[in-house]
Amino acid sequence: MPRRTLSLCVCLAALCAARVDGTALPIQGGSLAGTTCTVEAVEKVNFQQLNTILEELLNTTFFRIFKVDLHRPCYRDETVKPKCTGPGTGGMGGMMDSAFSAPMGGGFSSTKGGAGSAEDEEDKGGKCSLTSEKVDTSLSIVEEHAGELFDSDRTCDPNLPEFWLDMCSHIPTHTSTSETVNLVLNPEAYTGYNGTAVWGRIHELAATFDFVDGQASDGERCYEGRVLQRLISGMHTSISVHICQNFFPPRKSKGTTTYQPNPEMFLKTANNAEYLENLHFTFVVVLRSLLKAGEVLKRVRIPTPEDNPAERRRTAELLDRLLDSPILESCRPVFTAFDESLMFKATTPDLKNQFKWVFKNVSAELDCVTCQKCKLHGKQFLLGLGTALKILLVPNNVLGESLAHDEVVALINTAGKLSSAIIYLRKLTEFAELQKTPPPTPPRPPPPPVSPPPPPPPVQPPTPPPSPVPSGGAPVPFEVLDVGVQRVAKHVARGDVHDQILHRVLKQDAPLLALARWYDGEEFAKHATHHVATTPFAGAAAAAAAGPAQDADAIVIGAGLAGMTSALVLLDAGLKVLLVEKESYVGGNSALASSGINGVDEAAKLSQGNDTVAAYVTDIIKSSGAAEVYPLAQALAEHSGKAVRFVTDRVGLALDKVVQMGGHSFPRTYRPSQGMAGAEIVLALNAQVEKYAKAGMYKSFKKSRATELITDASGGVTGVKVEDKKGAATSLTAPHVVLASGGFAIGRTEGSLLQEVRPDLNKFATTNGRWCTGDGHRMASRVHGQTVDMEQVQIHPTGFIDPKKPDANTKTLCAELLRGMGGILLLRNGSRFVNELGTRQHVTAQMVAADPEGLSFTMLVHEKAAKLADKHIPLYTGKGLLKKADNVAALAKDLNLSEATLRATLATYNAAAAAGDDGFGKQHFNNAPIELDGAFWHGQVTPVLHYTMGGLAVDEHARVLGTDGKAIRGLYAAGEVIGGLHGKNRLGGNALTECVVFGMIAGETIAAASKLPPQGGGGDVPPPQEAAAVPGSRVITKAELEHHNKEGDLWVALHGKVYDLTDFVEEHPAGPEAILKCGGIEGTEIFATAHSEATLSVFEPLGEYKE
């Protein structure tokens, strides 16, 4: 096999040979050479099972702490004397430099800003430094066993089984210059270092095998040589793929909290499917070593701080889960795909010596890397690879205690990196296809801070408040004229003055239209009369000079909580708003959220116990996986109390219950005592917004899809193109556009963005509505909006499996509140397996690891917890998603388990609650103990697609950032469409919080840019008031009601009154089915499971209901 040159970021291992012309990257599949499995089998096992558990392992204390010597001298500076002598063990000099362009940890000689050519690389020194994390001194260090278990004579004789025990002797971990490093805090990423020369020598070394059955040959290399060369290639590929994935560092100015990929670099270098195969091959070899050493690895001592026995247990359990059935059994074809017995069949001493000599010299070559971080990851990976080879080549009876602490750590980390690289390949491929607009550029300096944000260039007449003015005499929007004519007709006495005012309105007198907009009754008549008497009217000429007409002051795209919040803030500020919604009703996914909205406000005493904004920020950062606090998280926490007060004070909805959800250190999730939080907030908001419709300030376009953002010559956003349900297109213009179009967490749907970004998640059902297809992301990307964290998609651990429709793609969310109140999760055998209050990411990972094929679990709620979830339990039970069992015996029968098994599980839980430790890390056992003689509610749940953390990059003012890092004029975003806020995982309750916080910020930013301060709730101009609905005086009997029971004619009796909900059927946020089944009947009981009576305030009753 000819020696290969790995091109630049061997990102190709990404499934293909790619071209930069935008063509799709073909996936290379089929048989994996040198093994008995296929590429598809490796990827399936990795995606479905191994990657999740390996990620969990690498985040434990034991596996993230690594001892390494980063200060050993380069062998070219000091002579390295081989320990053994004999054939093939000569020195390491004489290696030729080569033209390798692939990096060791970073820079590329062919890339602008790289570290230079191969010839000058060593002279320049490192381009980065390693920041070592100080490790807790209570963490004991396990002594290195390897050097004590064998002597040099036995490891120098290739005929002895101990020969392979010193494979890793050139990567010592316990020396006088060793240091302890936290691998999680030092991720493998682009550093700017050029590793060309080092990689050249490494691949020259790997290509030195010239033996076939012990004889020199110019033909095919020996099998052992091909194996080692492929392993080195797989290592190089893995490192390069990680660099492509983690290329651009987090930047506050760009709103990013994690490293971002470089799809452009990926496209330029993904050009050889052979590297892809070698990456998969290396992974299979390492998995084979895990299988062989399974029993030895299980006996490894896991030291952790003495005060954290739960961490030790958790690590051991995760390792056992990786090495035990069902994972090893279900993945056995991959774990056994490589056969090490085929190596060294000829038992040629020279061949064994040469194999070990090459590996040790490659190890020594890493000491010549001058970038500390690059050296760290190179040494860790190669130590893991050497450990895998040692395991495979040493007989089982010798392996025994020969594995050192750091070898085990390195082995698992190498397996994890290979697993992640295979995941990243697919992501990079999809990013490259998705981002065919100009790719992300290296971060630029942030724009100067502004507070408040600068206003956009004037696009409206200077007379405040701004008023739509025509160009060249073109008619203003009908709504504006209509308001003006109404004011004149109602409030100005007939006569000459009346006619003059009416004439000026019809001639589009801008100041007069502004008066009509803000004044009513006698005040309008007084000011209008004064205006026409004292102000000459220049007519259309003046209007033309004022500039082009605008349909509104702001356009909001999306009628979920974020969009409705922005709309209300804008309306309160005196701005005219148009709202575009592609469904026939408001609410979006927000209306489906049931747990509540998070809030902390120390000044207003809106906090529970000792809760603080800082504690809330800490919880957000911990959940996100970020290493430090970032601006958007800080903004969310700081404004959360204000958001809760906005709902209670401005919207008028009482949030009188507070609970503690998973991942939160304090109770801070607020919800109404009646109804579901999301639906109640949205409906109350809609009622407030609709009050402005009668004044001509607000108009909604439902069943209308926004298709494209309109921009001016400078790239600023000036409007949006819209299609109605019949496909008719129109353009709406405004100087400000708010994208509140939601996420894209729905697969198996034509046109879904998820299929482009994360097709590996297509197997999961979703809690999202059909509308979540990523329209806003696409529109913003086409005007060069920047996206962040697009690969971060949250799987919620609990979506109900409806026994009537078990295969339905859309599941009803099982609210986190049930677990917060004390609900527990059970496996099919009736045992617990996870901390139910862990983050969603953690709980989901444990579920996938525990039951990767069935993904079916029991949600069990005991009686005390059920009483506190007094809205959720009846709602879910009414829908057939929960079933009540009167006692443990009935529960056991329902679950097809023995009563003894269930009683044992519950008793164990009660004991753990009393002790404060259940072995899974649970610290809060709310409403424990479980009463074994009480009633239970149970239902089947499964992990479901729930939320997309990635989205548009925004700054703290909700302005969308372009790919150049600067704000795009006129474009704002709020809600799930934004990215960079939640990192890798979103805390429960932060969805509604995010919608209100950034919806408010977007509205306030636009108001500041328009120089109009928010006026609702205390300003000079109060929000318009709507005449109170007067209940109908007629009496409607049961017999009459029953006639109106179908679509198109649907009445419902609720709380003693009858309502005509015919037109609301399609608008109901939870869908029409719930309303249709109440048609023609007294539906209060059903209605009350999800809504409060106050929700009905937006409807006018037909009359009183009488049986």
d(CA 615, CA 577): 37
Closest C-alpha to 554, from 948, 953, 958 = 958
d(CA 877, CA 244): 49
d(CA 357, CA 871): 70
- Point out the catalytic residue in the list 426, 491, 819, 872: 819
- Residue 565 Rama label (left phi>0; alpha psi -120 to 50; beta): alpha
Which secondary-structure segment (H or E) carries 710? strand 704-711
Asked if 236 and 199 touch (Cβ cutoff 8 Å), the reply is: yes
Q: Which residues contact 645 (CB under 8 A, 6 or more apart)?
A: 599, 601, 604, 606
What's the one-letter identity of residue 181?
V
Asked if 476 and 468 touch (Cβ cutoff 8 Å), the reply is: yes
HEC profile for 916-959?
CCCCCCCCCCCCCCCCCCCCEEEEEEEEEEEEECCEECECCCCE
Asked if 961 and 954 touch (Cβ cutoff 8 Å), the reply is: yes
Q: Count CB-CB contacts under 10 A for residue 136.
A: 13
Phi, psi of 720, deg, nearest 5: -150, 145
| Half-sphere exposure (Cβ direction) of 1004: Cα atoms closer than 13 Å | 15
d(CA 1050, CA 1073): 12
d(CA 905, CA 930): 11
Q: Which residues contact 325 (CB under 8 A, 6 or more apart)?
A: none
Q: Is 796 among the catalytic positions?
A: yes
Omega into 929 within 30° of 0, i.e. cis? yes
Burial of 441 (0-12, 13-18, 19+ CB in 10 A): middle
Q: Which residues of 267-303 are buried (b: 16+ CB within 10 A; e: fewer)?
A: bbbbbbbbbbbbbbbbbbbbbbbbbbbbebbeebebb
Classify residue 274 by its DSSP letter. H
The two beta strands, 1049-1054 and 215-216, are unpaired
CA torsion through residues 536, 537, 541, 546, sign: positive
Query: What are the tokens at 2?
Result: 């000819």
Asked if 574 and 1012 touch (Cβ cutoff 8 Å), the reply is: yes
Asked if 74 and 375 touch (Cβ cutoff 8 Å), the reply is: no
- Point out the catalytic residue in the list 664, 796, 938, 1091: 796
Q: Which residues of 173-194 are buried (b: 16+ CB within 10 A; e: fewer)?
A: bbeeebbbbbbbebebbbbbbb
Q: Which residue has the tokens 């890397």?
A: 369
Query: What are the tokens at 756?
Result: 């482009």
What's the one-letter identity of residue 497?
V
The CA distances from residue 456 to 452, 465, 569, 575, 687, in Å, are 12, 16, 19, 15, 31
Q: Is 819 among the catalytic positions?
A: yes
Q: Which residue has the tokens 């025509």?
A: 470
How far is C-alpha 114 from the geometric centre of its chain's CA atoms? Answer: 31
Closest C-alpha to 174, from 304, 301, 72, 58 = 72
d(CA 622, CA 921): 15
CA torsion through residues 1088, 1093, 1095, 1097, sign: positive
Q: Which residues are catalytic?
A: 796, 819
